[in-house]
Amino acid sequence: MKSRKIQIKDVCQLNASTISKRDSKSSILYLDTGSLTRNKITNLQSLNIGVDTIPSRAQRKVKDGTILYSVVRPLQEHFGIIRNPPENLIASTGFTTIDVIDVDVNDQFLFYCLTQKSTTEFLHGIAVNNVSSYPSLNPDDIGNLIFEIPSEINDQIKLSEILLDIEKKIEINERVNLEIEQLLKLVFNFWFTQFDFEDSNGMPYKASGGEMVWSEILNRDIPIQWNVGSLSDIGTILGGSTPSKDDQSNFDSSGMPWITPKDLSLNETKKFVSRGEVSLSQKGFNESSLKLTPKGSVLLSSRAPIGYMAIASNNLTTNQGFKTFLPDKGYSTSFIYYAIKSSMPTILNYASGSTFKEISGSVLKDISICLPPKAVADKFTTLALPYFELQQHLEDESQALESMRAWLLPLITNGHISVQ
């Protein structure tokens, strides 16, 4: 397979077009750098011209195939390729826009070249040495990049399709898991908030006239056979800790999994967690007075921010940014998980702190909740368990696909894989 060398500035336009007063737009959809990570858009701000305050950075125009690449901290991977954008989509000047103008260069293949790990690490090295208060790039830093790519655009397209197929399967898995999650939350709310769980006749309890009694503590009616308890009644609550970072012998890349809120922030769509970016040695585990968090425990970030949640898919530990619920009091992982989610407004209301909000273990333990009879909680567990297992299977499959994509990406973009 023949190849050619290209320089980005020769085959692309950088920052080709910006919004101006001549653009007669009544509203814009604004994409900030923090809302685009690894080609996933998490938030678009809808802003009305003349009514809302328009950020001064809302200037970059985009079109189909525009590559957006954040000029700040390249290792954070705030990049993506835009497909079929609405006419009023405007990106932040925190991005460099990259539009392919060479008819023999495929924009998707070029996107993969720009976003492989070796490229982001190279750009990060430039960014940290630029004269700025934080690691940042100039458009020319991207424009000066040189890649060797297949000469034939059809070869570029076929190679890109290998990676696109992997990404599409990951997207399908995430969509299925999201739909399952919405279903389970709906059922939990129906049973344990509206109290329309199945009665002995298979009918919704409250809607069918099931007897209710007023709870002074919860300030609402609850089913007569249910009790008022606290979050500590559904599982023992543990805190985490951090060993001294000055002693590198406390850490071991293949050691005890140790989770921080950052690990969950990087994977907000995932429900299960097995390992974070950093692991502990046995020495670090012992010196931090940490306790082992068993498989099936429910992790809740309790500071900066409050509310990230995950389920331990194996034994692990956490830092002090978590409160972890052990499923050791007769309630299942699935019940505990949704009971905490259902209590989140109350948890946030009890949080305190001047610099950042935090919920302490002592306060968390005393938050009141309505406790169902074990038979009702067990029935929900029986219903939820197959869905939990499917969600974990799909997450594991997606993780394997992501690893395959990471392995294939440099092989494809560096010409080690050819098209027959």
Q: What is the CATH number of the domain that holds 232?
A: 3.90.220.20
Whether 197 is covered by a domain: the verdict is: no
Domain match, 233 and 145 both: no
Q: What is the DSSP letter of 143?
A: H
Give the rounded distance of the alpha carbon of 123 from its chain centre: 24
DSSP strand pairing (251-259 vs 317-318): parallel
Predicted confidence (pLDDT) per residue in 348-396, tens digit = 999 988 778 899 999 999 999 999 999 999 999 999 999 999 999 999 9
Predicted confidence (pLDDT) per residue in 262-301, tens digit = 898 877 789 999 999 999 999 999 988 888 999 999 999 9
**CB neighbour list of residue 101: distance below 8 Å, 6 or more residues apart:** 11, 12, 13
Whether 106 is covered by a domain: the verdict is: yes
pLDDT recorded at residue 354: 73
Distances (CA, A) of 348 to 233, 267, 306, 325, 376: 19, 22, 7, 17, 27
Whether 358 is covered by a domain: the verdict is: yes
Domain termination site, one of 371, 391, 406: 371
pLDDT recorded at residue 239: 93
Among 11-25, 137-151, 164-178, 399-413, name the one with the lowest average pLDDT.
11-25
pLDDT recorded at residue 174: 95
Tokens of 250: 């406390």
Whether 214 is covered by a domain: the verdict is: no
For CA atoms 179, 190, 392, 259, give the dihedral sign: positive
The neighbouring-strand residues paired with 192 are none
State if pTM tops 0.85.
Answer: yes
**Residue position matching structure tokens 């992790």:** 299
What is d(CA 67, CA 114) in angstroms, rounded to the nearest whole number? 9
Biggest CA pair distance of the chain: 78
Tokens of 286: 């012992």
Whether 403 is covered by a domain: the verdict is: no
Q: What is the domain range of residue 298?
A: 227-371
For CA atoms 75, 273, 170, 157, give the dihedral sign: positive
C-beta contacts of 352-357 below 8 A and 24+ residues apart: 353/303, 356/303, 356/304, 356/305, 357/303, 357/304, 357/305, 357/306
pLDDT at 171 over 80: yes
What is the number of domains present in the chain?
2
Question: Buried b / exposed e across 356-395, counting CB within 10 Å, b at 16+?
Answer: ebbbeeebbeebbbbbbeeebbeebbeebeebbeebbebb
Element (H, E) at 116: none
Domain match, 8 and 124 both: yes
